[in-house]
């Protein structure tokens, strides 16, 4: 005897790919993010002296002090990125899966503080949770005189706590680096790891399916114990409903006599048949169970069941299946 299986589920879903990394590297175009990634890891992203050299996210694994940290470099973010300007809106979602942010500030920019504020605004507009992530500022290009000379001024502004809009950063979270020469890279990695250590780490390994399983509970098989009976007097119709019962009926292949026999036994074992008798079911009444329409018979013998099943199959033009249709030894 074979079953039909459960009905399938059809859904339309928007699936969004997000890279999983420990730290996301953000900043304005040409701030030196890709160069910094190459200095921190063995990754070799495209590096060139013009904006938007990075067109796709890049991952790099930093090995330091016998510990690995995964960094993700995303394309430069422009003002208005949260609304779709530039490439930032397309790739900011990758940063949302990170646990911390390295904000690369271009020390050679005419306005490093303004660049920092613009990126922070875009992060907050894209996702408040993204803006609330722990961050370490990498003040880049200190190998250039025009950049190194203003480092102390930038630190003073970013650590300012006066006013509601003041950055108020911890001075330890601002690290001077030179992505081109590698200066300050070790200090940056160690500071980032210190911030990561402050975060609560979930128990056990994190898997790619955890986020899905946390929001979509697994489907559980329903039992056959819970069911209800409703009666329609004018048509002498009894409707038997129940999640587990409906599932069982959907899997039943009525072309097998053995399946019909098993279903009759289920009605007896679950008490449905006795409940119908107690409520006054009569010969010839219609019984609807999970979309299957049956006719009640007071004769519960297997001979009567087989005769009724066979006549119904023939009337419907269905091919019968099962052991009764197989050739028997010594048969004609």
Task: Give the domain CATH number at 29.
Answer: 3.40.50.300
What's the angle, vertex CA 214, arms to CA 208 and CA 216, rounded to 5?
A: 105
pTM check: above 0.75: no
Q: Does residue 90 sit in the same domain as residue 49?
A: yes
Q: Does residue 141 sit in the same domain as residue 186?
A: yes
Helix/strand/coil percent split, the chain, to 5:
35, 15, 45
CATH (domain of 315): 3.30.300.350
Nearest to 289 by CA among 257, 254, 241: 241
pLDDT of residue 138: 93
Of residues 88 and 191, more confidence is placed in 191
Give the least confident one: 44-48, 157-161, 246-250.
Answer: 44-48
Q: Does residue 172 sit in the same domain as residue 53?
A: yes
Q: Does residue 234 sit in the same domain as residue 192?
A: no
Q: Does residue 118 sit in the same domain as residue 233?
A: no
Cα–Cα distance between 244 and 6 in angstroms, integer? Answer: 11
Q: Does residue 194 sit in the same domain as residue 239?
A: no
Q: How many domains does the chain have?
A: 2
Predicted confidence band at 188 (pLDDT cuts at 50, 70, 90)?
Answer: very high
Q: Which domain holds residue 124?
A: 23-212
- The whole-number average pLDDT for the span 312-332 is 65
- Asked, for residue 332, whether it belongs to a domain, the answer is no
Predicted confidence band at 204 (pLDDT cuts at 50, 70, 90)?
Answer: very low
Q: Does residue 206 sit in the same domain as residue 232?
A: no
Could you read off the pLDDT of 266-295 as tens digits, one per residue?
Answer: 888 888 889 899 989 898 899 898 878 888
- Whether the pLDDT of residue 85 is over 80: the answer is no
E strand or H helix at 291? none
Q: Does residue 165 sit in the same domain as residue 233?
A: no
- The whole-number average pLDDT for the span 135-145 is 92
Predicted confidence band at 193 (pLDDT cuts at 50, 70, 90)?
Answer: very high
Cα–Cα distance between 238 and 98 in angstroms, integer? Answer: 57
Within its chain, how far is the Cα of 328 from the centroid? 54
- Phi and psi at 161, nearest 5°, equal -115, 5
- Asked, for residue 330, whether it belongs to a domain, the answer is no
- The whole-number average pLDDT for the span 245-250 is 86
Q: Does residue 194 sit in the same domain as residue 54?
A: yes
Q: Does residue 183 sit in the same domain as residue 315?
A: no
Local structure of residue 177 (DSSP, 8 states): -
- The whole-number average pLDDT for the span 45-62 is 63
Distances (CA, A) of 299 to 159, 238, 307, 308: 89, 18, 11, 11
Q: Does residue 99 sit in the same domain as residue 176?
A: yes
pLDDT of residue 45: 59
Q: Does residue 155 sit in the same domain as residue 244?
A: no
- Whether the pLDDT of residue 149 is over 70: the answer is yes
Could you read off the pLDDT of 2-21 as tens digits, one per residue?
Answer: 788 777 788 998 887 777 78
pLDDT of residue 201: 58
Predicted confidence band at 200 (pLDDT cuts at 50, 70, 90)?
Answer: low
- The whole-number average pLDDT for the span 54-71 is 82
The last residue of a domain, from among 184, 212, 240:
212
pLDDT of residue 206: 44
Cα–Cα distance between 288 and 245 in angstroms, integer? Answer: 11
- Asked, for residue 9, whether it belongs to a domain, the answer is no
- Asked, for residue 2, whether it belongs to a domain, the answer is no
Within its chain, how far is the Cα of 103 from the centroid? 27
- Asked, for residue 11, whether it belongs to a domain, the answer is no
């Amino acid at each position: 005897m074979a079953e039909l299986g459960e009905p399938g589920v059809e859904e339309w879903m928007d699936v969004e790919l997000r890279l999983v990394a420990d730290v996301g590297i953000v900043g304005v175009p040409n701030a030196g993010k890709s160069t910094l990634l190459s200095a921190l890891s063995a990754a070799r992203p495209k590096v060139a002296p013009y904006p938007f050299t990075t067109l796709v996210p890049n991952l790099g694994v930093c090995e330091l002090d016998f510990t690995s940290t995964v960094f993700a470099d995303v394309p430069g973010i422009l003002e208005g990125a949260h609304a779709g300007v530039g490439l930032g809106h397309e790739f900011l979602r990758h940063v949302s899966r990170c646990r911390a942010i390295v904000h690369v500030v271009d020390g050679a920019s005419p306005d490093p503080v303004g660049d920092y504020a613009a990126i922070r605004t875009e992060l907050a507009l894209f996702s408040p949770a993204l803006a609330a992530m722990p961050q370490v500022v990498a003040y880049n290009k200190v190998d250039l005189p025009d950049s190194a000379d203003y480092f102390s001024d930038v630190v003073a502004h970013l650590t300012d706590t006066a006013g509601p809009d003041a950055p108020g950063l911890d001075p330890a979270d601002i690290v001077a680096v030179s992505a081109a020469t590698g200066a300050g890279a070790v200090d940056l990695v160690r500071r980032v790891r210190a911030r990561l250590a402050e975060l609560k780490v979930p128990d056990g390994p994190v898997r790619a399916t955890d986020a899905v399983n946390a929001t979509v509970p697994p489907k559980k098989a329903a039992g056959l114990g819970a069911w209800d009976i409703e009666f329609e007097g004018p048509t002498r119709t009894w409707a038997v409903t129940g999640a587990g019962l409906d599932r069982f009926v959907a899997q039943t292949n009525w072309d097998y006599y053995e399946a019909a026999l098993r279903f009759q036994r289920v009605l007896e074992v679950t008490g449905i048949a006795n409940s119908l008798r107690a409520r006054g079911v009569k010969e010839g009444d219609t019984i609807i169970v999970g979309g299957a329409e049956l006719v009640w018979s007071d004769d519960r013998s297997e001979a009567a069941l087989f005769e009724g099943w066979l006549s119904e199959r023939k009337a419907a033009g269905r091919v019968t299946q099962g052991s009764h249709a197989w050739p028997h030894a010594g048969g004609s």
